Structure formats: C-alpha cells, structure tokens
Amino acid sequence: MRDIYRVNLFRSRGFERRKCPKCGRLFWTLDPERTTCGDTPCDEYTFIGNPPTKRRYSLAEMERTFLKFFERHGHKIIKRYPVVSRWRDDIFLTIASIANFQPWVTSGLVPPPANPLVVSQPSIRLKDIDNVGRSGRHLTLFFMGGHHAFNSRRQKIYWTDETVEFCHQFLTDELGIKPEEISYVQDIWEGGGNAGEDFEVIVRGLEVATLVFMHYAGEGGNYRPLPLKIVDTGYGMERLTWLSQGSPSSYEAIFAPMIEHLSSLAGVKMPPTELLQENSRLAGLIDIEGGRELKQLRAKVAERMKMSVEEVDSLLSPLESIYAVADHLRCLAFMFGDGITPSNVREGYLSRLVLRRTLDLIRGLNIQQPLSELMAFCLETLYGQFPELKERSSYILEVVELEEQRYRDAIARGSRLVERIAAELRARGEPLPPEKLTEFYDSHGLRPEVVKEVASKFGVRVDIPEDFDIRVAKSHSKSRHVPEQVVPVPAERLRGLPPTKLLYYQDQYLREFSARVLRVIDNYVVLDRTAFYPEGGGQPSDIGVLEARGVKVEVQNVVKSGDLILHQLQAGGLRPGERVVGRIDWERRRALMAHHTGTHIILGAARRVLGPHVWQQGAQKGAERSRLDISHHKRIETRDLQEIERLANEVVVQNRAVRVQWMNRNEAEQKYGFDLYQGGVVPGKLVRVVDIEGWNTQACAGTHFQRTGEVGLIKIIRTERIQDGIERLEFSVGEAALRHVQELESQLSSVAGILKVPPEKVTSAAQKLFEDWKAAQKEVERLSQRVAELMLAELRSRAKPLGRLRVIAEEVAGASSTELLKIGSALISADGSLVAILGSGNDLARIVVMAGAEAVKAGVDAGAIAAEAARVVGGGGGGRPELGQGGGPKVDLLADALGRAKETCEKQLNL
C-alpha cells in the first residue's frame, strides 16, 4: 500500500522525513539542520519582527493573492457562504470552508458547485473564545482559504501530489518564503463526520495551513471509505497576514485601526513592542486553557523581560481586552450582517453570548461610548472588502443598540435576584456554587462578572471559571434537534414494496384517482399511487375515502415512510391486489393549499417590510387558521403589520404565477441562494422549488395553488412574541379570512348596539366611556380612602393596653388577606408599640398578625401568634416576628382564634 505522505514534491526536491524528539510526530523538511517539527510548542515563533515573506500584506491583499493564485491554476473562485449554516441542520455556524459542502457534496449525493474550486470562507469557532486576545493568534471569526477538489471513480481532479505542490508553490513562488523554512507535519484530521490523513504546514513556528486528504467517513478511528476522495485544505488568511508583517500579534496585523481607536477611548497606552513580542512568542509555547496557563505565561514573560509579574499583567491585561473587543466586533458584524437575530436559542444565543461578552470587556475598560458607535467604526474598516455589510449596516447597528439596552435592563432586573441569593449565602457562610453562574446567564442574561460584582458587596466569594464562555458556547453549539416523524408501521413489514407514485405532485388539483392495493398492514394500506398528501412541512395530511366493491372506507390520516405513503383507515375491508378509487376531501385540501401558499406570500412581505434578516422559524398550516414564526429583533409595530398585510393582499390581486419545479441542488442554490431553506433543510440531490414569481422562493414539499389570485383575502389575526427574538403571525386566508372579518364586524355591531351609537362612532363612544370610568374610579378611590381613614381611627380607638405595649384584636368584615395586610401595616407604621391581630371570614377564616418595631424588641413573635390562632380555625400559619399569617376552614371559630392570638401574645410578654 502506498505511503500517502510520500508525495512527489518530497521525492523530487530531496525532502527528508524525520521524527520530532519532542512531540513524536513525523515531518518533512529541506533544512539539514532541523531536528524538531517546527510547530509550537516544540519550537518558538521566529517570524515576529522578522517576517519570511518578500513583502508585507494586508488581510485583503493576502486573500486576493491567495484566490488569484489558485484561479491561475485552474480553480474557480466561488463566493463565500453565510456564517450561519442555513443549508445544514447539524451545526449553527459555518466552522470551516469544507462545511459549505457537507453533507451533500462530501457524501457524493450532490456534485460540487465547481471542481476544483477555491474560496475564502469567514468561519466562526467559539471553542476558544476565552483565549481571544491572550494568545496572539486566537480569533472568534477567521477567514479560511480553502482550495478543494472532489475526486470520484469517474473523475480524477487531483490528490496528494498536486495539493502539496500547490501549497509549496504558493508559499515559495508567490509569497517568497524560502523552501527550507517550511515543515510538513504528518497527522490525522477528523471533522463533521469525515476524516483523512493531513499535513500541517509550519513556517517559523506558525501553522499557516492544513492539507487534508479526506477519504473516510466516521470518527475516533472507526472509519469507512467515502465515495469521494476530497482535497480539503485550510489556509489561515489572518495567520499568513501576520506572518508577512511579523507584528507582535495577529491582532495588530488585522485590527490595527480598531485597536488604536479603542486604546484612545480607554486611555490605554501601548506597552513596549519587545514586551508584546515576547508575550506572543511564549504564548505560542503554552496552550492557554485557563488561569493556570495564563499565570505561567505571565511568569515566563516577566522572567524574560526582567519585570515583575504584576507589572506585566498591568500592561497586558487592558490590551488583551482591547484585542478581544476588536475581534468580537468583527465577528458580530458578520453574524448580524448574515441575518442572525439575537435570541435565547441556536445561533441567536451564540451571537448574544459574543455581544454580551463584548459589553463586559468594554465596561472593564471604562469605555463610555455606546457599542453601536464602536460597531459603526468597525464597519467602516470592513466596507471596502465587504460591501454587503454596508447594505445591511442599519440592521446591524439597530440590533446592537437594542441588545445593549436589553443587557442593561437584564442587569437591573437580575441584580436584585443576585442580591437576594447573596444575602442568603452570606447568612450561611457559603460561596456561590459555580453552576449558578451558568443559570444566571441562561435564565437571566447576567454575565458572571456582573454576578461577582454584585455578590462581592455582600462578602460572598464568586469564582469565575476561566473558560466560562467556552463551556457555555459548547453547550449551545449542538446540532438542531429535528424530531423525526413516528412511522406507525415497522420497516420490516414494508420491505419489498415499490415506491408510491405521488399523484399530488403531478396534479395538485387532482380530487379523484384509481389505484391498486399493494399491502394491508393492520389499519394501514399502501397503494401503488396516491393523490393523498401525507403530513409534512407543517401541512396536515389529506383525509377522504377509498372505495372498492361499493364499500367506502374513510382515510383518517396519511404518513410517509421513506418512498412509501401509508393511508390510515377508519375500518378494514380492503384486500391486497384489488382496485380502489380514492377521493380526497377537496374543500379541506383547497383550504390547506390556500394557507400554504399564503404562508409563502406573508413571509415574502415580512422580509420586505422588516428586512432580509427575517427567517422562518416554524409554520403550521390549518384549514381555518395558520401560523408563521419568524425571527425578528423586536416586537412588530402595528404600522409594519398593516404594511405586511397590505403587501400580501397586493400580491394576491396581482395574481402572480406560482411555479413548482424539481431542480439540482447546486443549480437552485446558485440561482436563489440559501433563502431556499427558509422552511428548513431538505435532503437529496434534487430539491422541489416553489417560486412565487418575483416574490418568494423556497424549497418546499407542500401543495400550492398555481396563481396567487386563488388564495383570496389574507387577514393577519394577531401577533405574539413566543420567545425572545421570534414573532408569531397568526392568519387566515380565503373564505376562512372572510368569516373572521365578518365575525369581527358582528362583534363591532354588538358593541355599537350596547353603546347606542353607529358602528363608525364606536371608537369615540368607547373613549368617552373609558374617560367617564376613570373619573368614577378616582371618586371611588377618594371615598375608599376616606372610609379607610375612618376604619383605622375606629380600630385605633379599640386598642387595649398590654404591659408597655398596645394590642388590637378585631375582625374586619369582608376584608381580603391583602386588605388585612394594608390595614395592619398602616396601624403599626403609626405606632411601633402596637400589635395588630386582624381577622376576616367569608368562605375561609383569614388571620394577619403584625408587630411594630418596639413590640418585636419586647419579645413579640407575630409568626408564632398566627400559627397558634390558625390551629383554632382548623388550619395552619406562621411567619416572621414582625409578620405572621394563617387561616383555616372553621369560619365560625374566628372570634375564638382572635382571642387565642391575644392570649399567646400575653404569654410571650410574660403577662
């Protein structure tokens, strides 16, 4: 078997394979003096202050140079994919260039958009977010330059030899790096369910590329061959830029204007260049995972620079925060620019995590400018290279501004909860449990730094894990859970059956058809062909009848199992092999088609009114009402809702064509973009595309009208915010919408009759009625206050001496527990030596005991008094020394209970 690592370049140029004595890995080199692999931590960075390239490159220049090089060598440049992976249901964010082609292309199901191809793909990985700013190299968003070739049995593009040759030629001929400076380290790569041998390409200690030869599926060493052999390369555009500049860290190479701006706002002076260089060199040798490694780094830097650890930390910590803010702002610009809406779930949760971490870093730097202003500055640095961000800048800035205000509100609300819990922990002498930090963030939006700040005022210790954000991001980066439809018939009972012919796709208006029964399984029947639509895509299944031999059997439900359609029957009677006639409930199907088509129309209107960030988060179609859930960063205002409804009905009146066609996945994506997957990811090489002419295009399996005019009236009934970042639109169409409007008109007429005015004057009449009610309410409150004053005076006159204190033990007829509490509070606030024992009895005996400050000092325990009194009425009670409550079902014993309460109070005072 051929050694996959022994490529032509190494044989022809005289590379030698050696084993690194430090890490044990094999590597290839032209340097006769090299004994180690060249990678960190086996070797230190030697390019800082001494770049190996023929000139300096900016990030934009490096990206352009990379793409043009591979274009000259036969690769087609393709546009970047969004950073939110709309075409996949197993990850939320695009993590690498190969993620663009998983799983459809890598599985061999769908051809690639070009072969070979090259792309510079913005990729987001949050697994190292806590290390951003510290290491000199970690980023949340980075550009992965990938040249890819997809080799099949029928078509060989290129494999290992050409891949390494391309890389070597790019680094040496294009960038001017000396060949002996490059090490190729052998390894195995896994990711996204695929695997293969790889080379890590090292220059002066920095890994600048990974060349993966992907030809396995599986993970953990359990591999099986893929149908394709895939060249999967990843060149770090930021790392190559850093290499070319030799700057102290990658952050200066990428974010220089942003760093200068933030430093000025924070009043942070740049530390000496020698300190920054040493910090990055040593950071490359230490894999920073938490506080322990960071302390080691600080100590080593201090030793080399002959400074104290405290001095090093004071110089580097503020700058590390500035680095992180610069990185996070760019990441957020692409997140929001590509349509993510902050929320508490999925990619929205991850965007909010990055944003709130940014706000905490800014707060720590004491930067007073709002985040939106910092984002505006960041966007200005990106517009030249990414004009699409300028088109979406208003949405980006609005979201940032709203989210900053929401975080301030969350801090104000959540701090009170932290104070209460901190007070309880202080009383017990306990620190805050670490799991509480995650709970505070997930449930209340509080960053751990805020929790620590509040808790410290109560003397409660809070230990924040150094990798807190990494843990949180990891726990919320799992694949979307898409529940599979439960198939009621075991697969083994369906074996041997040919695929069902789907007549509802051939003719969506077909009401009646003939078919042959292939198999009967309990109360399910499989036909050779059917016009019954199975449940799926938020559309309920058809119902109707199957008729054979003059016997009609109702079809109650229809489900899909693979390529088969199962019809659930109300009763048996059908036999395999016989011919049947099927009739669907056309009125119901027509209503469902109207609502399904209406869903597409409303979504198109919502995206035009609210913005292209709107994304369908769910939908359920019904015969009378349907709902559409969309992502949006704030509540939909009435005028926007009215405009959505107006546009939707305008599309109906325009009677636009609704075209349905099966398309190659690549062709569909190239023509319509990833908006295709608004309704969710669809599997397969071919996708069924529903295109409302010039309005909305989606991959959709449902049934639709051929023209929008058939939908009829569209009426949005109501909206609600079902969770943070997701708005629900409930609507009706066609006859159902008309019935809803008529019902509203009927209700309006009824209200007009009650108010004795014409319908058109209901608003003014209701307003007058409301104003009259408010005036009457004020008068009631005034009179109630006067009655309360008289009642309090009467109660005070009945107070009896109790040693040095006074006691009131009275029944207040008809009072609720809340009213008893108000009366008691008013009594003791005026007299701290008073004990108020109040009761009322309607359906239940209620008892409230309150003691003034002097009474509590004298030994009165209101909670104990209430508990004792409640026993008399057959119930229970308790409370604190200043306040006790109780009650029970024996209303007739209320007077006895009040007497027992007074006796208990006397015993407490030893009277």
> For residues 78 and 672, is the Cβ–Cβ distance under 8 A?
no
SS (H, E, C) 871-886: HHCCCEEEEECCEEEE
| Cα separation, 190 vs 217, whole angstroms | 9
Is the bond into 113 cis (omega within 30 degrees of 0)? no
Cis amide bond preceding 116, omega within 30: yes
Q: Residue 552 has which token pair?
A: 């009609």
Q: Could you say which DSSP state residue 83 is in?
A: S
User: Is residue 679 a contact partner of residue 616, using CB atoms and an 8 Å limit?
Assistant: yes
User: What is the C-alpha to C-alpha distance for residues 350 and 141, in angstroms, rounded to an integer?
Assistant: 13
Instruction: Name the token pair of 753.
Output: 């009759």
Q: For residues 127 and 122, give the distance between their C-alpha atoms in angstroms, rounded to a whole number.
A: 16
- Show the DSSP H helices in 756-816 as ranges: 762-797
Q: Which H or E run contains 588?
A: helix 586-610
Q: How far is CA 291 from CA 134, 193, 288, 300, 795, in A?
A: 11, 32, 8, 14, 65
Rounded to whole angstroms, how far apart are CA atoms 349 and 351?
6
Strand partners, 559: 566
How many other β-carbons are positioned within 10 Å of the β-carbon of residue 601? 26
Q: Which residues of 256-277 are buried (b: 16+ CB within 10 A; e: fewer)?
A: eebbebbbebbebeebeeebbb
Binding residues: 596, 600, 700, 704
**What single-letter DSSP state applies at residue 893?**
G
Cα–Cα distance measured from residue 309 to residue 307, given in angstroms and rounded to the nearest whole number:
7
Distance (Å, whole) CA 530 – CA 234: 49
Q: Which amino acid is at 7?
A: V
Pairing of strands 834-841, 805-811: parallel
Amino acid at 509: Y
Cβ proximity of 332 and 379 under 8 Å:
no
Tell me the C-alpha to C-alpha distance, in Å, between residue 772 and each of 769, 776, 816.
5, 6, 28
CA angle at residue 104 from 103 to 108, to 5 degrees?
Answer: 110
Alpha-carbon distance 650 to 464, whole Å? 55
Annotated binding site for Zn(2+): 596, 600, 700, 704
Which pair of tokens denotes residue 139? 């980023």
CA dist 870 and 839 (Å) reads: 10
Beta bridge partners of 144: 121, 236
Q: Where are the alpha helices (DSSP H) in 338-383?
A: 346-365, 371-382
